[in-house]
A and B are shown apart, each in its own frame.
Chain A
Amino acid sequence: MIEAFHIEALAHISPAWPVIIGGLIAAIIPNFTLRKALALAVPVMALVLWFNPAAPGTYGIIEFGGFTLETFRYDPLSRIWGLVFIIAAFINAIYGLHEKDRLADTMGMIYAGAGLGAVFAGDLLTLFFFWELTAISSVFLIWGSRNNAAYKAGLRYLAIHILSGVLLLAGAVIRASETGSWAFDETLSIETTGGFLIFLAFGIKCAFPLLHNWLQDAYPKATITGAVVLSAFTTKLAVYALARGYAGTDILIYIGAVMTAFPVFFAVVENDLRKVLAYSLNNQLGFMVVGVGVGTELALNGAAAHAFVHIIYKALLFMSMGAVLLRVGTVKASELGGLFKSMPATAVFCLIGAASISAFPLFSGFVAKALTLAAVAQEGHVIVWFVLIFASAGVLEHSGIKIPYFAFFAHDRGLRVREAPANMLIAMFLAAALCLWFGIFYGNLYEMLPFPEAALYYEPYTFDHIVGQMQLLLGAMFAFTLLVRFGLYPEEKRSENVDSDWVYRRFGDGALRWIWAMMDRLTAAIGNVINAVGRKLGGRMFQAFSPIGALSRDIPSGLLAIWTSALLAIVLLIAYLAP
């Protein structure tokens, strides 16, 4: 553990607050420089608060409306997630320094702060508040692209995430009514109704299979900086929530295994390189979910370590593609190639991110993924282990090779653009340096893990492990060169691959439109029937009771009306006088 200093006056302030308040202040600051200075300052303030607690415990307790809200639970699990969120917020702030968008600055900070708030939440109500705040603030990073596709994707994203929040609240309320507890801890169980709904809420945000497509739908349509920011917080918050509440839940092992494997196939033929990264994100989350599912100390260390390094190298990859998008105007693989000639520094940073995610020795992915794989094998989940090894080769395919190869090498399209702006290069440099730092000095990472003793007992750089990993990577790279050489690698072409979003974007939308049209026709038909019956009945009544009707043939209807009134008056009089 890193030694903490202590300022008592700040002991109860969660690192989330300065970041959120900074975001709110940014909303009213028109001056660009001041706003950017604030965006850089708030993560530093958060870091001071992160260091501050003298010991693990629950701080920042607020009594509100009969509820006890725990806003700052500081323990080994929240501590590592909190730290990497703060690092991400700082690097993202540097990356976005060139962007003149007050709304993006505001929402970026509030979103990061909400992520921190959720990580440090000690009860389900506090978690719910920050959970929804992440959804509401982050959607503006998608809408910030200011085009119709982004607007629609943002709406879908918001709807799905609000649904996640509603499920979380419903589950929490049901659980509280059954047990009287709002605790956000390991007592959550999928075997209870409330616990299952909360699990589902976490699963949506974690992009479980078939619930995943909001990610591939929204992230590629976000702004350049927005995609980088989005990649850091939402899904990793969900992994944290699962680790906090559902560690050791067996079904997570299989859900995670599926998550690692299926995105690989989609990523192979995806043309939009930011969408490839979104699929890759899904794949990486799978490793973490498996770790949470296995639930041993080693496995949870694996999930935490993977989340930590993943946030950094995934941000690095998104940053490099963001730089390409800024300079070239597209990240379609079919339009790119040869960019190392124009953007050599960006290419190098992208390669470092690619090597990290592919788990090359000396890079951060190697020391993190090893923990999960060892835990899965130790616990005897052999089939899942084989799936994870397959998925490791898959990661190399889409993030290790496809992203850098098609953007910076492959066919030179003659694109001669400027290198990325200085602030982007600095942000990428910092992220790349951390990828190498934690890959080489892995002890710094391991000592921050939830179970540092178990982590420091594990040695990632054994001869066997290095040889095995190099075999895997070189075998896969040999396959790539061979497939390309013999024309067996699919060409990049402008296309769209439908995914599970087809269910609601095409089938669901079509079904709703059909139901709406049928309802329209049914309403019209019922109206016609009522009108026809009304007309028929009215006609009959008219024929019987009108002044020219059947009943008026012998006695004039006016006289009959007088007699009817008189009879009614007599009846009322009798009723009134009767005892």
Chain B
Amino acid sequence: MSDPSKDKSDELIHPVARPFLWLDAPWLKSAMIWVFGLLALAFAGVDFFHHRHEYVPFAETYGFYAWWGFASFVAAVMIGWFGIRKFLGREENYWDKESHDD
């Protein structure tokens, strides 16, 4: 995160982007947890008032997609981190010192 007050004096920032510099504000990162968490809960809460009809019966359980999405995301990140990176991760020049951006 950069200093917003410094950004305002940064003439190289695109004029269209100037009204949106708050997107880089530190508070936004914490706020997004609440925004997404509450929205996920709200959509999951709909299931308590409305019965979703699904082809797969298990998917009709309350808030199924919300917790499945949450669990899938966490599983994907953890398996990638502790599975792929730990066992298959190598130094950048592993392949004959090739670099994609050369």
Q: Which chain A residues have a beta carbon within 8 Å of chain B's beta carbons?
A: 145, 147-150, 152-153, 220-221, 264-269, 272, 274-275, 325, 329-332, 338, 340-345, 374, 377-378, 382, 385-386, 389-390, 392-394, 396-397, 409, 411-412, 414, 416, 419, 463-464, 467-485, 488-490, 494-499, 505
Contacts and interface: CB of A to CB of B under 8 A. Distances in A.
B29 A481 contact: yes
Nearest to B83: A265
Interface in B60-101: 63-77, 79-81, 83-85, 88-96, 98-101
A412 B1 contact: yes
A385 B56 CA distance: 9
A27 B57 CA distance: 59
**Which 5 A-B residue pairings sit nearest by Cβ, starting from the closest?**
A268-B80, A475-B69, A377-B55, A471-B65, A416-B12
23 contacts: A149-B95, A265-B79, A267-B80, A274-B100, A340-B23, A341-B13, A341-B14, A389-B68, A390-B75, A394-B73, A397-B76, A409-B24, A463-B50, A464-B53, A471-B40, A471-B44, A471-B63, A472-B69, A475-B66, A490-B81, A490-B85, A494-B92, A496-B89
Nearest to B53: A464
A471 B88 contact: no
A464 B53 CA distance: 7
B81 A268 contact: yes
Contacts of B50: 463, 467
Nearest to B59: A468
Given A265-B76, A496-B91, A149 B55 contact: no
A153 B100 CA distance: 10
Contact of B40 (A148, A338, A394, A478): A478
Contact of A476 (B33, B69, B95): B69
Given A341-B21, A494-B92, A269 B80 contact: yes
A338 B76 CA distance: 25
B72 A393 contact: yes
Contacts of A341: 7, 10, 13-14, 17, 21, 24
Contacts of B16: 344-345
Contact of A495 (B13, B44, B76, B90): B90
Interface of B: 1-2, 7, 10, 12-14, 16-17, 20-21, 23-24, 29-30, 32-33, 36-37, 39-40, 43-44, 46-47, 50, 52-56, 58-59, 63-77, 79-81, 83-85, 88-96, 98-102
Given A332-B101, A385-B56, A476 B72 contact: yes
B14 A342 contact: yes
B84 to A, nearest CB: 5
Contacts of A481: 29, 32-33, 36-37
A393 B76 contact: yes
B15 to A, nearest CB: 9
Nearest to A261: B76
Contacts of B71: 479
A471 B76 contact: no
Given A377-B55, A485-B29, A495-B92, A221 B72 contact: no
Contacts of A464: 52-54
Given A340-B17, A416-B13, A479-B69, 12 more contacts: A340-B23, A342-B17, A390-B72, A393-B68, A394-B72, A467-B47, A474-B39, A477-B40, A479-B71, A490-B85, A495-B89, A498-B94
Majority secondary structure, B binding face: helix
A336 to B, nearest CB: 12
Contacts of A345: 16
Main secondary structure of the interface of A (DSSP, over half): helix
A498 B20 contact: no
B20 A148 contact: no
B69 A148 contact: no
Contact of A472 (B68, B95, B102): B68
B69 A266 contact: no
Contacts of B46: 467
A494 B81 CA distance: 14
A496 B89 CA distance: 6
B70 to A, nearest CB: 4
Contacts of A475: 40, 44, 65-70, 73
A390 B88 CA distance: 22
A379 to B, nearest CB: 9
Which residue among A269, A342, A499 has the maximum number of chain B CB atoms within 10 Å of its CB? A269
A264 B40 CA distance: 22
Given A390-B72, A472-B66, A485-B29, A338 B91 contact: no
A266 B81 CA distance: 9
A496 B83 contact: no
B62 to A, nearest CB: 10
A306 to B, nearest CB: 18
A468 B65 contact: yes
Nearest to A152: B98
B88 to A, nearest CB: 5
B32 to A, nearest CB: 5
Contacts of A484: 29
Nearest to B65: A471
Contacts of A495: 85, 89-92
Contacts of A377: 54-56
Most buried by A among B50, B73, B96: B73
A342 B13 contact: yes
Contacts of A150: 102
Which of B30, B47, B74, B80 gathers most chain A CB within 10 Å?
B80
Contact of A482 (B33, B66, B68, B99): B33
Given A409-B23, A495-B92, A342 B84 contact: no
B92 A496 contact: yes
A479 B90 contact: no
Nearest to B57: A382
B16 to A, nearest CB: 5
Contacts of A497: 84-85, 88-90
Contacts of B33: 478, 481-482, 485
B77 to A, nearest CB: 6
